[in-house]
């Protein structure tokens, strides 16, 4: 199927408090243009450093050799399926009652048939209609193409889940032009990984590399079938690692500037040794085509998912059972963190793995099994590579001190780790009129403590606090009364972090004090 495009921007709305963060900041980089010799195998690239020193010369990889080695293991995947449509047109929805978005043009006013319908008060039919009234839903054929690569001589192939989604037949074409019908062994939409199998032997196999060893700025190469052009090769560099996308995915994507287009989905991303380090999966595009931002699933994660599919036919993702937030400077000031890093725990699932381990709202997870958690998205990305029952050693910042919490990851019965985004904050006084909860309100909310917001103004209102919200804690300390809240605010220098509950959801809101 086609590589999906997405728009970066406001996507998640948690407890109706937040506007999701927008990626921004465009830098300018000077590029030295080099003349290429027709017979040159490699051209040295030189980068200027401080004090007039020069970095070591780096040669351009031999892309031809990489392609010759890895290319035979790359396959073209064609899929066929059907889609239900109604009202004589494809409304893009599986529901036979969904409204159509692509109506036909009206008949010519001078058409005798139209005059006949109007004369007797009937609705005027549209062009292309084969009858009157709502048509019986029909199954219409669909088709798509993608890429994949062989990982075992007997025909096991890795690709994207969206490539084979809804397919009734899957055809694999090798570089030697042989074609095979493939069986879908299993898919995992959460990570967009699929495993398919063809009945063959002695096939060329892709060599798998180590995606953890990939470095920002290194050369990478993609092979696939963009727009159906089989075995096309494009090259570029790694733009970033561990990139989280606003699509509720836990995948720590490898971002590149390799030209990837619809049809490249499922194809390999290769390093200069010809090893697969990722599976090309998504692009950022406003046009539907390549615009310089491509994203690949790390091969380490893909192999983990593949092993579960081959062994069990399905994937069971590990989960910690928390809702987390990004730590910005305001939160860092509120919780006395040295730097705005980590994953702020907004709420803990009752009786979940985190709850059993003793994690609390207001904790900031700064490490996972020795791996630093810099962005909040680093935590679900790390957990995505684990399996249920695995031990997780968490470095936690709590009440101004570093501690360690040991947790046993559970199975993915829900959405896993959810990430919320932070809103903008203002300056000035807190700006809240509060009162204590009545016994009836405490029973309804299930909270023993908390203050209900009657009026919100100034910085609190700008941060998203609204009348009816319940303030549960300040800077991680539970609010037992108005005097306790005033005490916590008085002890804060620049900002406070209010834990707000609204409609059963909890989230921290940073409010600057000025």
- Residue 511's H or E segment, with its range, is strand 505-512
Q: Residue 407 pairs with which residues in a beta bridge?
A: 392
CA distances for 36 relative to 45, 63, 108, 139, 223, angstroms: 11, 15, 61, 54, 24
User: Measuring CA to CA, which residue among 354, 320, 310 is closest to residue 250?
Assistant: 320
Beta strands per DSSP E along 213-252: 219-224, 232-243
User: Measuring CA to CA, which residue among 135, 185, 188, 178 is closest to residue 156?
Assistant: 185
Instruction: Report DSSP state, residue 58.
Output: B
CA distances for 401 relative to 232, 320, 379, 498, angstroms: 54, 22, 20, 19
Residues with catalytic function:
162, 192, 265
* List of residues 6+ apart from 364 with CB closer than 8 A: 327, 331, 335, 337, 342, 343, 344, 345, 396, 397, 398
φ, ψ of residue 90 to 5 degrees: the values are -85, 110
| Cβ atoms < 10 Å from Cβ of 395 | 19
Instruction: Report DSSP state, residue 258.
Output: S
């Amino acid at each position: 199927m086609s590589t999906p495009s997405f728009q970066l921007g406001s996507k998640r709305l948690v407890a109706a408090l937040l506007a999701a963060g927008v990626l921004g900041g465009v830098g300018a980089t000077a590029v030295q243009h080099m003349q290429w010799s027709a017979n040159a195998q490699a051209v040295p690239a030189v980068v200027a450093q401080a004090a007039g020193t020069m970095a070591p010369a780096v040669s351009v990889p031999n892309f031809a050799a990489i392609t010759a080695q890895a290319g035979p293991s790359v396959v073209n995947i064609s899929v066929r399926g059907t889609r239900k449509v109604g009202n004589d047109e494809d409304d893009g929805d599986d529901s036979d009652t969904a409204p159509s978005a692509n109506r036909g043009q009206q008949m010519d006013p001078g058409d005798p048939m139209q005059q006949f319908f109007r004369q007797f008060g009937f609705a005027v039919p549209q062009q292309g209609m084969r009858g009157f009234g709502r048509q019986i839903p029909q199954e219409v054929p669909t088709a798509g193409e993608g890429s994949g690569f062989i990982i075992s001589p007997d025909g096991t192939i890795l690709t994207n889940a969206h490539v084979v989604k809804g397919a009734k037949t899957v055809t694999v074409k090798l570089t030697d032009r042989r074609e095979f019908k493939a069986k879908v062994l299993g898919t995992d939409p959460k990570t967009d990984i699929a495993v398919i199998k063809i009945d063959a032997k002695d096939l060329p196999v892709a060599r798998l590399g180590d995606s953890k060893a990939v470095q920002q700025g290194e050369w990478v190469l993609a092979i696939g079938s963009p727009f159906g052009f089989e075995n096309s090769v494009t090259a570029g560099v790694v733009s970033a690692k561990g990139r989280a996308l606003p699509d509720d995915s836990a995948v720590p994507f490898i971002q590149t500037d390799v030209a990837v287009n619809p049809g490249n989905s499922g194809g390999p991303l290769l390093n200069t040794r010809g090893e697969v380090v990722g599976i090309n999966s998504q692009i950022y595009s406003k046009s539907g085509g390549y615009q310089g931002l491509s994203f690949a699933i790390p091969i380490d994660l893909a192999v983990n998912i593949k092993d579960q599919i081959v062994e069990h036919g399905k994937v069971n993702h590990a989960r910690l059972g928390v809702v987390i937030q990004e730590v910005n400077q305001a939160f860092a000031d509120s919780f006395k963190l040295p730097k705005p890093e980590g994953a702020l725990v907004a709420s803990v699932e009752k009786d979940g793995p985190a709850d059993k381990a003793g994690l609390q709202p207001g904790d900031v997870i700064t490490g996972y099994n020795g791996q630093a958690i810099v962005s909040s998205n680093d935590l679900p990305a790390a957990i995505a590579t684990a399996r249920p029952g695995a031990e997780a050693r968490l470095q936690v910042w709590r009440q101004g001190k570093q501690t360690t919490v040991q947790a046993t990851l559970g199975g993915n019965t829900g959405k896993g780790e959810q990430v919320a985004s932070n809103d903008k904050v203002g300056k000035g006084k807190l700006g809240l009129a509060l009162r204590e909860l009545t016994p009836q309100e405490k029973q309804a909310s299930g909270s023993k403590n908390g203050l209900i917001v009657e009026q919100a103004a100034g910085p609190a209102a700008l941060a998203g606090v609204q009348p009816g919200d319940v303030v549960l804690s300040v800077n991680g300390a539970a609010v037992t009364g108005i005097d306790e809240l005033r005490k916590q605010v008085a002890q804060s220098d620049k900002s406070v972090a209010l834990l707000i509950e609204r409609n059963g959801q909890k989230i921290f809101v940073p409010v600057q004090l000025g």
